[in-house]
Chains A and B, each alone.
Chain A
């Protein structure tokens, strides 16, 4: 079993739809959870990060973490064609000697159709 599982999609939705992206993980040491957006031929762009369980909202984006289920989600409201990209979840355990290395999911390719 991989440490982080993410459905690669592709996921295609109409403009204005609510998008739900998810990752599951197996390592209970993960405490920091991030979502990155990556456009084609570009580096990942940090969207949101959260510590431990709970919700965090930023504009049209909401990140949820459920540590008891080892499940994280990213919701995108009122999706726009410009949201079309690959979304990567990433996780990190505490620092110490690890330098807060990230473990990534495979990424979900999202297309929002006008």
Chain B
């Protein structure tokens, strides 16, 4: 159980393109989904937290107009990297926390490797 599907797994595109990444919880409903960025040989850096039906909360230094997050249902959140540039190339990972007020651990997708040429 607790499977999170992230799509696409790999994107290569030209500078200036906008890229949408989907994160789905397949067998549970997720109150909260998180978006992370990971650089080679480094740990995960939280970008933003999204709750279903609410605006996302962005971490300090993350441009909300650059990284658009939509959490339209309890099983789907999307991250759109707008007008992507080479410096946006990275490994993006989403996670989902099961619905409920008490603690539930986050379950992660397999990430999206984004390369901007």
Residues of A within 8 A of B (CB): 32, 34, 36, 41-46, 49, 51, 88, 92, 94-95, 99-102, 104-107
Contact = CB atoms under 8 A, between A and B. Distances in A.
B43 A99 contact: no
Contact of A99 (B4, B42, B49, B93): B49
B103 A51 contact: yes
A100 B43 contact: no
Nearest to B97: A100
Contacts of A92: 103
B34 A95 contact: no
B113 A45 contact: no
B111 to A, nearest CB: 5
Nearest to A103: B46
B62 interface: no
Q: Secondary structure of the B side of the interface? A: strand
B7 interface: no
B103 A43 contact: no
A107 B43 contact: yes
B75 interface: no
Given A43-B4, A43-B108, A101-B34, 15 more contacts: A34-B105, A41-B91, A41-B111, A42-B111, A43-B110, A44-B93, A46-B107, A88-B43, A88-B44, A95-B101, A99-B51, A100-B32, A101-B49, A102-B34, A106-B42
A32 B34 contact: no
The SS class assigned to the A binding surface is loop
B32 A99 contact: yes
B43 A95 contact: no
B108 A44 contact: yes
Interface string B83-105: 00000000101010100011111
29 contacts: A32-B105, A41-B111, A42-B110, A43-B4, A43-B93, A43-B95, A43-B110, A43-B111, A44-B93, A44-B108, A45-B108, A46-B2, A46-B108, A49-B105, A51-B103, A88-B43, A92-B103, A94-B103, A95-B101, A99-B32, A99-B34, A99-B97, A100-B97, A100-B106, A101-B46, A102-B34, A104-B44, A106-B42, A106-B43
